[in-house]
Chain A
Amino acid sequence: VLLVSLIAILLYGAGSALLLLEVLKRFPKVTRYATLFLVTGFGLDTLELIASFSHALMTGRVPVTGPADYYSVFGWVCMAIVVLVRLQFRLPAIAGFFAPVGFALSSLSFLLPDSREPLAENLPGYLFAVHIAMVFVSLGIFCLAFLAALIYLLEHRQLKMKRFGRIFAIFPPLDVLDRLTVRALVLGVILLTAAILTGIYLAHSQWPKSWVYNPKFLFSVATWVWYVLILSLRYFAGWRGGRFFALIVVAFCFLIVTFLGVTAFFPSPTAPRHVANLPRVGSWRS
């Protein structure tokens, strides 16, 4: 499994570098292999993920716990989006800038020590797997929206300043970025809603009374509110352009704080009671 992971990461690295070179229109003879590397790496990563997910559930452990697992799944989701954006939506610039994010996350997960927590006894394992999948897919989609928003802001700024860098030529049109971002936000909010609802159900089975005060839950709901607010501004107040995309960038930064900060410092509402009582900070490093 370790070897498969390593090969997948190496393929991600090579594919990301070639994709970026392709976007920058350099070395076309070699960049044609970018998709092959990425898709093969993604296939191996998927196999590795399925194996480790099934193994965890069969042995009664939480399948995705600790930073190593988080980054691994997050990296996989990013790469799935890269493959989709490249092959289905034909947006090489977005795929080119997004692939290094997926590669960095996967590499980080490989370098971090493994940490697994036992699954709570009465927790329905498969529902938990669905919950985790929705959390990470929504996270990946919000990450895509964030990247598209950053590119939009950069391109919008260049059009306003009337000074164009060399990178301007490779940017997708503003309208394409706008539509991609809004669709990503809608899908992301739907998935996040479902993830929060399943999370509530699972948490309730563990901490029937106190899950409402769990910081992870509160931050997740706050993120959801933020994204719903952004979509409302778009659909009901007609927000577009720079300020709309700036809000998306801020929202994603908030999301990252929730994801990294809160999960590192506070226990999950779905963790068993004895785990919840353990000191949280730095526990995964031991």
Chain B
Amino acid sequence: MEILVVGLNHRTAPLEIRERIDFSKYPADQYLRRLAQSPAVKSGAVLSTCNRVEVYATGPELDQLMKETAEFLASFHGLKIEQVSEFLYTKANEQAVAHLFRVASSLDSMVLGEPQILGQVKEAYFTSCAHSLTDALFDRLFQKAFSVAKKIRTETGIAQQAVSISFAAVELAKKIFGSLSDRTVLVLGAGEMAELAARHLRSQSVKEILFANRTYENSVELAQDFGGIPIPFDQFLKHMPKADIVIVSTAAPHYLVRKEDMDAVLSERNQEPMFFIDISVPRNVDPELHDLENVYLYNIDDLKGIVAGNLRAREQEAARAEAIVAGEVEQFFRGVEKLDLAPIIADLSRKYGEVQEGEMARLRRRLATASEEDLKEIERSMDTLVRKILNDPILFLKEPDAAQPPAQKSELFRQVFALEKARKKNQQ
């Protein structure tokens, strides 16, 4: 059985092509039924995200499987194969398995280590399961991909650190305060980044978010969106002692928060730590605040620097993850070989089991005077004999051998032990 992946992603195809080849616009029933109609496809799954479209399939004939899968990908979207072939990649067997493991582990994603892709791969597989478009090999392949992804996430730091500015700010806040559930946030000004940070903080169930904007109506609007409290802009210093985290993002050309303001604020807070995130350009928080003992101030460049560092760290971790993938691909194929050998071993055991049963029946007729205990002893002895005779050939069959692949060994066994003949006889 051959394993194949045909697809395109953010590296091989421009957005216009990815927009045209997009399965997520259609019901799964429609495209999976069409895929199942391809004679070469025994099982298949379609992974369609904003950055990649891939069809995973298995079938007995690789060339036919490649042709039909690529044609399905193009024709389902009303395109000719020639129109998309330059954007497509095709990987078979070891390469296809490694590719799936890398995709599920987010090693092939635009943002290395992003967590969504594993859920999307799972969804693609479960949708195929729901449409009965899977078999034992396909099940094994995807289950393995999920376990590899989990292993990589737990054993490497690929997904550990934040790679977006707003998330990096939240991570820093958690490093200072631990749980944010009893913390108060003050948002000064508005802006996309401030809103995003507030959204992330809200998702951490912060106790309270205070919004202060020069236009009070904007504060009210934001407060309504985030379930916060609007406060007049000119009173933000009065409210500041309540805030553990302060996000500043205004268009003011000067410092809004100065070092000398902080003495009163910190003493009212009993010197409890404060975390300032200044996303404004020009900066709105006096950089000297960072020199105060219990104040941590990070501006946009600091956060960008952290994100860049985290991305580099993820890239370093990716090398460890790739080594895990290589080992797991090898292990997967060893398991698959055993899966391929299982029918041969079953045929062999069945054939000699039947020989043993026939011989035992003959003995029962011939040795009519023998006691039941003697016959049982003979039967046990025969059983042991058959198992001992078959032991070495089965071990030979299971032994990994680069010179003789499992398919070749299976064929040899079928001929030497005349297993096909035995099967036909059995079927008759």
Contact = CB atoms under 8 A, between A and B. Distances in A.
A171 to B, nearest CB: 7
B206 to A, nearest CB: 14
Given A159-B176, A164-B309, A173-B175, A240 B271 contact: yes
Given A160-B296, A169-B161, A240 B273 contact: yes
A243 interface: yes
Among B172, B174, B294, B305, the most chain A Cβ lie within 10 Å of the Cβ of B294
A166 interface: yes
Given A240-B294, A241-B271, A242-B293, A171 B157 contact: no
Contacts of A240: 271-273, 293-294
B326 to A, nearest CB: 18
A176 B293 contact: no
Interface in A152-170: 155, 159-160, 162, 164, 166, 168-169
Contact of A155 (B154, B156, B175, B305): B175
A175 B160 contact: no
Given A160-B290, A240-B272, A240-B293, A169 B174 contact: no
Given A166-B313, A240-B272, A28 B175 contact: no
Nearest to A27: B155
A97 to B, nearest CB: 17
Contact of A164 (B176, B177, B290, B306): B306
Contact of A174 (B161, B273, B302, B306): B273
Contacts of B267: 238
Interface residues of A, number: 22
Contacts of A174: 175-178, 273
Interface string A257-276: 00000000000000000000
A133 B155 CA distance: 41
Range of interface residues on B (Cβ < 8 Å):
20 to 34
Interface in B301-315: 302, 305-306, 309, 313
Contact of B305 (A162, A173, A241): A162
Contacts of A171: 175
A149 B313 CA distance: 27
B87 interface: no
Contacts of A160: 290, 296
B298 interface: yes
A172 interface: yes
Given A162-B302, A173-B176, A241 B296 contact: no
Nearest to A235: B270
B303 to A, nearest CB: 10
Interface string B268-301: 0011110000000000000000100110101000
A285 interface: no
Given A160-B290, A174-B176, A241 B273 contact: yes
Interface of A: 25, 28, 155, 159-160, 162, 164, 166, 168-169, 171-176, 238-243
17 contacts: A25-B154, A25-B155, A25-B156, A28-B155, A155-B175, A159-B172, A159-B296, A162-B305, A162-B306, A166-B313, A168-B175, A169-B157, A169-B160, A173-B174, A174-B176, A175-B176, A241-B271
Interface of B: 154-157, 160-161, 172, 174-178, 267, 270-273, 290, 293-294, 296, 298, 302, 305-306, 309, 313
